[in-house]
């Protein structure tokens, strides 16, 4: 059974508060929220207005933001693929929005969504059987690293022993849903367990980013949460996926995009973000060919951009005059994303299909199957 839901990608805009260094530079505030759906940016050449599905001012709390994404997260449990990603220059508030502040006094979308998933599952627990699992990846310089596999200690010894770490590859299933082949997928039975996995992933991320502080703003964090639910009354099985992406800082990509081809090649560190820009341009212009294959990032996000997912982009911006150029670039980029149409399909399988799949799985792993299974 497939339920189609054609829809535009939704785009929220969040303005962060002015920070100390901006205030010290004497930068004026150039961004103003006009109403819940529009902002005004004062530029030297006059003011520009931008419209979004929702605008959050510097005063907006993490709760305010989460309030408007809650329903989207719930639809994962109904069998939809959902992607939420944060875009913006370094320091614009992407990690604050997605993860929260360092001491988690103001948790962001990721930890809040873990709670929502398990709260909804709890409410439905008498009627459904649920399985929640997750993979967590970091993409740096077009290399995927599995954050659920520790880089130190035993795992590293193992890796050295066998020469190469297990390769993670991005694949798509028949319904076009992206999955990370070779990535460690761990099950979680509570929001706390899922959060513990996430903390483990963040710790692993830190190790790889010790060389240079800026590296963390040049890598993308990708969290995939799969929710499988079996209706105990009719046996139907729903499978939904929630992708949460904290993108690398967009500033260099923006500059690259403005320049010629050579610069783009030299600037391989930002290859993935410029590839994302190319995909967004192709989709918003409805070109017949969309260059998803040009980077790992666009492969990871293939189902979320122009594909089978309900997608929300959060564009994070600074309010200050000193970041005006990057802010305008981000807002133009986000405006293009708004024009992209996705076709979200609910993934539901009948009891019979789900049983057959189980039989095939058993056979593949060399187990015997008795007649009762078929
Ligand atoms: P990015 O991930 O885009 O590089 P961060 O999320 O790390 O940016 O934000 C930079 C700094 O600004 C951090 O210290 C963060 O806590 C703070 N910050 C960002 N957004 C907000 C906000 N809405 N309210 C309060 N502080 C914020
Ligand atoms: Mg960040």
Question: What is the torsion angle, in degrees rounded to the nearest 10, for the CA atoms of residue 104, residue 108, residue 112 and residue 113?
Answer: -140
Cβ of 316 less than 6 Å from ligand 1: yes
Give this prediction's pTM.
Answer: 0.88
Pick out the chain residues at pLDDT < 50: 1-3, 153-161, 163, 208-213, 253-254, 256-259, 261-266
Q: Domains of the chain: which residue ranges?
A: 10-373
Q: In the numeric block, which tokens belong to residue 42?
A: 């004062």
Cβ of 235 less than 6 Å from ligand 1: no
Q: In the numeric block, which tokens belong to residue 209?
A: 């980013």
Nearest bound ligand to CA 221?
Answer: 2
Rounded to the nearest whole angstrom, what is the distance from the C-alpha of residue 89 to the centroid of ligand 2?
9
pLDDT at 353: 78
Query: How far, in Å, are 51, 232, 236, 354 from residue 73 at the CA level?
Result: 24, 22, 20, 24
pLDDT digits (tens, 9 = 90+) for 123-158: 988 899 999 999 999 998 778 999 999 765 444 444
Q: What is the CATH number of domain 10-373?
A: 3.40.850.10
Closest CA to ligand 1's atom 1: 91
H or E stretch at 32: strand 31-35
Closest CA to ligand 1's atom 9: 93
Cβ of 220 less than 6 Å from ligand 1: no
Beta pairing class for 10-15 and 310-317: parallel
Please give the distance of CA 301 from its chain centroid, rounded to a whole number.
8
Is 291 in contact with 283 (CB distance < 8 Å)?
A: no
pLDDT digits (tens, 9 = 90+) for 267-312: 555 788 888 989 988 988 889 999 999 999 999 999 888 888 899 9
Contacts of 73 (CB under 8 A, 6+ apart): 82, 113, 116, 117, 242
The residue to mutate among 12, 14, 15, 16, having the most atoms of ligand 1 within 8 angstroms of its beta carbon, is 16
């Amino acid at each position: 059974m497939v339920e189609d839901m054609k829809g535009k990608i939704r785009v929220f805009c969040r303005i962060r508060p002015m920070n100390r260094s901006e205030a010290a530079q004497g930068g004026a505030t150039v961004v103003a929220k006009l109403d819940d759906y529009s902002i005004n940016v004062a530029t030297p050449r006059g003011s520009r207005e931008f419209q979004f599905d929702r605008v959050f001012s510097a005063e907006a709390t993490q709760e305010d933001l989460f309030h408007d994404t809650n329903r989207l997260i719930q639809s994962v449990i109904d069998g939809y693929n959902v992607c939420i990603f944060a875009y913006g220059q370094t320091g614009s508030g992407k990690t604050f929005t997605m993860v929260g502040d360092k001491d988690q006094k103001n948790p962001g979308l990721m930890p809040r969504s873990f709670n929502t998933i398990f709260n909804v599952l709890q409410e439905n627990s008498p009627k459904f059987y649920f399985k929640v699992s997750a993979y967590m990846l970091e993409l740096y310089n077009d290399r995927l690293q599995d954050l659920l596999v520790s880089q130190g200690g035993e795992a590293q010894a193992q890796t050295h022993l066998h020469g190469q770490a297990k390769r993670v590859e991005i694949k798509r299933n028949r319904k076009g849903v992206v999955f990370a082949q070779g990535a460690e997928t761990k099950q979680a039975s509570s929001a706390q367990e899922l959060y513990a996995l996430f903390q483990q992933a963040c710790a692993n991320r830190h190790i790889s980013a010790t060389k240079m502080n800026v590296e963390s703003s040049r890598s993308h964090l990708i969290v995939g949460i799969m929710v499988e639910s079996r209706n105990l009354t009719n046996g139907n099985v729903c499978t939904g996926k929630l992708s949460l992406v904290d993108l690398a800082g967009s500033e260099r990509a923006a500059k690259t995009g403005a320049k010629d081809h050579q610069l783009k090649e030299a600037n391989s560190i930002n290859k993935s973000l410029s590839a994302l820009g190319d995909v967004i341009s192709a989709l918003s212009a409805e070109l017949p060919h969309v260059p998803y294959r040009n980077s790992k990032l666009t492969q990871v996000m293939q189902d979320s951009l122009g594909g089978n997912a309900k997608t929300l982009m959060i564009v994070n911006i600074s309010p200050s005059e000193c970041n005006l150029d990057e802010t305008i670039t981000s807002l133009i980029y986000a405006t293009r994303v708004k024009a992209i149409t996705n076709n979200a399909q609910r993934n539901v399988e009948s009891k019979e299909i789900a049983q057959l799949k189980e039989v095939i799985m058993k056979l593949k792993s060399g187990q015997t199957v008795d007649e009762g299974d078929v």
